[in-house]
């Protein structure tokens, strides 16, 4: 109610709608350790790390992965195997993560508070949020049919909560190596290479070099781990670095960059 009132006062009817949504997500966010947890999932928090950011990251990734896999009605073996690849589970955490995944995948509902919690904890670390969304893309696309409409809707919702624009969303999918549905992706692979780097085709060579170097610094696994990403998630970040480098090679050939 408070969110709706403030939104109406600041931005009119559409602001009221957004305010109600944000207020609802705030009221239903996952509780901090020790608080009441009606879903029962947050009780697993202490199983992962004494580091608040890493524990929140692990909790959020596991719950969102399970609920996205369930969003089209069933969790497949391919999705479970993709989850294990994306999140390289340590032997001492395997049982706890397995329990949490199994409980979370009972329903696709109730994922928004976990996405919001991640968005709040990593609000100044967008590269970490991008890694999370990249992992979800890889898991969702692991079935032979690729991303289902329900999974795509789920991912767009998570992307919105994380604060990514539609352009960001498509760029993150490309960096994750995920083939989007025809209507969503660029028709020209060359365009996709520029999109991965976050530059337009008319960009000056020096601007392209600057953008590439900034991406490499921002998405380097060591920097991401320093920002709270658990070491178990490094495989996804490393694969993304390869795709960024490959896109840069394509752009360099096209633009004649030495």
Find the Cα–Cα–Cα–Cα dihedral 13, 17, 22, 23, rounded to 10°: 90
Quick one: which of 9, 44, 4 has its CA closest to 23? 4
pLDDT of residue 184: 58
Model confidence pLDDT, tens digit, residues 235-254: 777 778 888 888 899 899 99
pLDDT in tens, 181-199: 666 555 566 777 888 888 8
Q: What is the pLDDT of residues 92-130, one digit of tens each?
A: 777 888 888 888 888 888 889 889 989 988 888 888 899
Whether the predicted pLDDT of 147 surpasses 60: yes
Do the Cβ atoms of 114 and 55 come closer than 8 Å? no
> Where exactly are the structural domains of the chain?
1-30, 39-255
Contact 212, 197 (CB under 8 A): yes
Number of H helices, E strands in the chain: 12, 0
pTM for this predicted structure: 0.70
Give 179 or 219, the one with higher predicted confidence.
219
Q: Is 199 helix (H, G, I), strand (E, B) or coil?
A: coil
Q: Residue 45: helix, strand or coil by DSSP?
A: helix
Lowest mean pLDDT among 29-38, 145-154, 234-243, 244-253: 29-38
Residue 148, classed as helix, strand or coil, is coil
Which of these, 106, 101, 76, lies nearest to 89 by C-alpha position? 101
Tell me the DSSP string of 88-151: ---GGGHHHHHHHHHHHTT-STT-HHHHHHHHHHTTT-HHHHHHHHHHHHHHHTTSTT-S-HHH
> For residue 40, is it left (φ>0), alpha (ψ between -120 and 50) or beta?
left
């Amino acid at each position: 109610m408070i969110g709706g009132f403030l939104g109406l006062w600041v931005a009119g009817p559409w602001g009221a709608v957004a305010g109600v949504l944000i207020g609802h997500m705030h009221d239903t966010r996952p509780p901090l350790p020790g608080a009441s947890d009606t879903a029962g999932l947050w009780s697993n928090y202490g199983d992962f790390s004494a580091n608040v950011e890493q524990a929140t990251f692990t909790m959020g990734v596991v719950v969102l992965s399970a609920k996205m896999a369930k969003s089209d009605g069933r969790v497949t073996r391919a999705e479970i195997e993709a989850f294990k690849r994306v999140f390289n589970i340590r032997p001492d955490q395997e049982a706890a993560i397995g329990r949490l995944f199994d409980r979370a995948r009972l329903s696709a509902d109730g994922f928004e508070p976990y996405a919001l919690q991640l968005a709040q904890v990593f609000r100044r670390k967008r590269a970490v949020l991008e890694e999370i969304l990249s992992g979800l893309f890889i898991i969702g696309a692991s079935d032979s049919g690729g991303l289902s409409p329900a999974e795509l809707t789920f991912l767009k919702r998570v992307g919105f909560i994380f604060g990514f624009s539609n352009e960001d969303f498509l760029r993150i999918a490309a960096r994750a190596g995920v083939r989007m549905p025809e209507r969503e992706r660029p028709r020209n692979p060359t365009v996709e290479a520029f999109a991965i780097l976050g530059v337009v085709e008319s960009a000056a060579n020096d601007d392209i070099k600057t953008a590439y170097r900034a991406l490499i610094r921002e998405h380097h696994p060591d920097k991401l781990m320093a920002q709270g990403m658990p070491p178990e998630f490094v495989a996804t970040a490393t694969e993304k670095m390869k795709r960024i480098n490959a896109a840069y090679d394509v752009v360099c050939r096209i633009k004649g960059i030495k």
